[in-house]
Amino acid sequence: MKHFSKYFIVVIVLMAFLFIPKIGISEGSKETGKNLKIAFVQMEKVTQNYYKWVDLQEKYKNDLQYYQNKINKLQQDFENLKNSGASQETLVQKQKELQTRVSEYQKAIQDEYTKKTNEILDEIKTKIISYAKDNGYNLVLYEPSVLYADELVDITQQIIEMLKK
C-alpha cells in the first residue's frame, strides 16, 4: 500500500508539472487574443450590391431565355414532325437530337457562369483581404459561418462602399 501511495504522489507531481506550463500558455494566448481585431461580412448582401454581380445575373437571365427559346423551337419542330405522321425512327432521332441540344445548352451556360461567378467572388474576396490588411484586421469571417456578431464588427457596408469605387 505504501508503494501505491508513493506512486500516486509521483504521478500527481508529474501531472502538476505538465499542466502548469499549459496554463501559462493559455494565459499568454488570452492576452494576445485581446489585441485581435475581428470582423465579419455578409457576403450575400455584398454580392447583391456589387454592380458586376448584378450585371452577371442580368446577362445570365437573358442567356437562359435565349437558350430556352431555342429549346422551345426544337420542341415545336418535334411536335410538328409528330403531328405530320413522321416515322417512329425519325421521331426517335429527333428526340435524341433534342435531348442532346438541351444537355449542350445546359452545360454551356453552366460552364460559362460558373467561371464568371468564381471570378467575381475571387475579386470580392481579394478586395476584402486588402481592406482587412489596410484596416488592421486579424480575422474576417463571413456568413453563414457566423452564428452571432455584434453590429460593431460587421464591415459589410464598408465593403459595399469600397466595391462601388
According to the per-residue pLDDT averaged within each range, which of 1-5, 87-91, 134-138 is highest?
A: 134-138
Per-residue pLDDT tens for 29-81? 455 556 889 999 999 999 999 999 999 999 999 999 999 999 999 999 989 98
Contact 157, 54 (CB under 8 A): no
Q: What is the pLDDT of residue 165?
A: 85
The secondary structure of residue 152, as a DSSP letter, is: G
Containing domain of residue 80, as a range?
Answer: 36-164
DSSP characters for 33-56? HHT--EEEE-HHHHHHT-HHHHHH
What is the grid cell recorded at 23?
496554463
68 and 83 belong to one structural domain: yes
Task: Say whether both 24 and 105 belong to one domain.
Answer: no
Q: Give the 3-state secondary structure of residue 113.
A: helix
pLDDT at 21: 40
**CATH number (domain holding residue 103):** 3.30.910.20
Return the axis-axis angle of helices 88-134 and 156-164, rounded to nearest 10°. Answer: 100
Taking only the tens place, the pLDDT of each residue in 120-152 is: 999 999 999 999 999 999 999 988 888 888 888
Sort 28 into a burial class: Cβ within 10 Å, 0-12 / 13-18 / 19+.
Answer: exposed
Residue 7: what pLDDT?
46
Our count of domains for the chain comes to: 2
Are 126 and 48 within one domain? yes
pLDDT at 86 over 90: no
- The string of pLDDT tens digits covering residues 17-27 is 444 444 333 44
